[in-house]
Homo-oligomer: A and B are copies of this chain.
Amino acid sequence: MLFSKLSCDEFIGVLASKAPVPGGGGAAALVGAVGTALGNMVGSLTLGKKKYAGVQDDIIALKERADALQGRFLTLMQRDAEVFEPLSRAYGMPKETDAEKAEKSRVMAGALRECCAVPLDIMRCCCEAIDLHEEFAAKGTAIAISDVGCGVICCKAALQAASLNVFINTKSMEDRALAEANNAEANEMLARYAVKADQIFADVAARFV
């Protein structure tokens, strides 16, 4: 099933069901795409406007990056589902004999690595999206500034949601060096970009008081 081709209400329905996928990671990727698209929209509304003639080339470049990010988010929405199924199977493998234990451990290690790699990549995309919102806030049309605030706060939620999918999987990893490296990268992105997103949101909100 290609999740990005489901209608929005179908996606909501399958997300709410007991089907193992999509889950929190796929939802985070979709919310990241929604957030990025809001920033991108502010760019679209700025194109061709005389008042913003000085930043047209910048806006075109920002929009290209936003388009690419939206595509990456939608690909990652699918990837998150693809990597979950092997992990789900691995949890069910027998571990009676030493040989079975060794095999299960080997398969689990590979599956967990992938199940961390995807939400980490979602997080990297969210950080890039938050950087883009900073530029859309500075250069985009003032009439759509509220949408920059909406977009950046969605990207922050996607960042935080994806981080839980890193942490739940690193917790089960036997390779503690990899687990700690993944956790460190996730924590660094959270520390830096959650604050940055809140700042951009607060700057937008301050325009309406």
Contact = CB atoms under 8 A, between A and B. Distances in A.
Contacts of A193: none
A199 interface: no
Contacts of A18: 41, 44-45, 47
Q: Give how many copies assemble into the complex.
A: 2
Interface residues of A, number: 61
B167 A161 contact: no
B16 A5 contact: no
A2 B60 CA distance: 29
Interface in A13-38: 13, 15-18, 23-25, 27-28, 30-31, 33-38
A170 B146 CA distance: 13
Contact of A34 (B27, B74, B163, B209): B27
21 contacts: A6-B8, A7-B7, A8-B8, A8-B11, A8-B77, A11-B34, A16-B36, A16-B70, A18-B45, A24-B146, A24-B151, A27-B34, A27-B38, A27-B150, A27-B154, A150-B164, A153-B157, A157-B157, A160-B201, A163-B205, A170-B208
